[in-house]
């Protein structure tokens, strides 16, 4: 059984995804605890939230003032602070061993009926929960980036995930004004299983001289009605993130998911996309 009444949500990780999840949870009226391993990471998460709320306020996309929303979020470096949370969402490094360690700590800290969600984009929910006493309460709750803007949330059901945990995940996402779809616990789920080869093929087309990068992106945007072409989207996701996801899928699913050579070369050069100011395109400081 998992608890049905959710008032306080814990978020493990204050990076891009963690801070975004904390923001939308607070915007949805929940009390939030956002945790990271160092105080400077927590403060960086709050700065990202401040900037995001400011942008949304300027677009008249907020029903409450930013200070009210921000006031619902408490920062911490102490995992024990999740002891009174009703739901915890993990959004740490996309590494199976790291996530397993986090979930082992959460199982120790949280009551047995507290649902535990992971924001993983490629890793197996079943594997993350494998060593836990209560794997039935572990669910994938994969938010899209940037979390405050993107409407979709992918609910991923592990081998032992209960129907109650699955239903709760859909309900919480919908409470946050997100639209859900459900995926089985297969590599990449729906989104990245299809998205990563699409991005890699766009990179290969550019590397092989099929067209200029702008023409590749325009061709996909205008020809298939997507909002952003593969090269620009890769820059926004982060080329290192794309490479890691592609390598995970390649290991699980074989050569059709092999990362493009140019993607590897860009990451090795430190050109990771928008976050470093240069990827396939160049970006001025924002």
188 appears as a binding residue in the annotation: no
274 appears as a binding residue in the annotation: no
Q: What is the DSSP letter of 258?
A: P
221 appears as a binding residue in the annotation: no
**Helices H / strands E in the chain, number of each:** 11, 8
The SS3 assignment for 152 reads strand
178 appears as a binding residue in the annotation: no
Question: Is the separation of the CB atoms in 76 and 103 below 8 Å?
Answer: no
Which residues are annotated as catalytic? 121, 142, 154, 192
Give CA–CA dist 120/99, Å, rounded. Answer: 9
15 appears as a binding residue in the annotation: yes
94 appears as a binding residue in the annotation: yes
17 appears as a binding residue in the annotation: yes
Give CA–CA dist 188/132, Å, rounded. Answer: 22
13 appears as a binding residue in the annotation: yes
19 appears as a binding residue in the annotation: no
Q: CA end-to-end span of the chain, whole Å?
A: 46
Judging by beta carbons within 10 Å of its beta carbon (0-12, 13-18, 19+), is residue 77 exposed, middle or buried? middle
Binding residues: 13-18, 36, 94, 99, 121, 145, 275
Binding residues for NAD(+): 13-18, 36, 94, 99, 121, 145, 275
């Amino acid at each position: 059984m998992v608890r049905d009444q959710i008032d306080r949500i814990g978020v493990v990780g204050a990076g891009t995804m963690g801070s975004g999840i904390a923001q939308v949870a607070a915007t949805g009226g929940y009390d939030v605890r956002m945790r990271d391993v160092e105080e400077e990471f927590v403060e960086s998460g709050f700065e990202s939230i401040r900037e995001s709320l400011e942008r949304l306020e300027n677009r008249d996309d907020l029903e409450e003032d930013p200070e009210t929303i921000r006031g619902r979020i408490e920062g911490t470096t102490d995992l024990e602070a999740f002891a009174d949370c009703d739901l915890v969402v993990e959004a740490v490094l996309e590494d199976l061993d790291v996530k397993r360690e986090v979930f082992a700590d959460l199982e120790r800290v949280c009551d047995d009926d507290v649902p535990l969600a992971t924001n993983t984009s490629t890793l197996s929910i079943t594997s993350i929960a494998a060593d836990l006493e209560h794997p039935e309460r572990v669910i994938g709750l994969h938010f899209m980036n940037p979390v405050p803007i993107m409407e979709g949330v992918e609910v991923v059901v592990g081998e032992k995930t209960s129907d109650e945990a699955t239903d709760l995940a859909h309900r919480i996402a919908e409470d946050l004004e997100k639209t859900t779809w459900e995926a089985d616990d297969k590599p990449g789920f729906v989104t990245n299983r299809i998205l990563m080869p699409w991005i890699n093929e766009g990179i290969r087309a550019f590397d092989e001289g099929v067209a200029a990068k702008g023409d590749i992106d325009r061709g996909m945007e205008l020809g298939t009605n997507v909002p952003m072409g593969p090269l620009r989207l890769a820059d926004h996701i982060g080329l290192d993130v794309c490479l890691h996801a592609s390598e995970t899928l390649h290991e699980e699913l074989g050569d059709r998911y092999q990362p493009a050579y140019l993607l590897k070369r860009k990451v090795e050069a430190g050109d990771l996309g928008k976050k470093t100011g240069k990827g396939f395109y160049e970006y001025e400081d924002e």
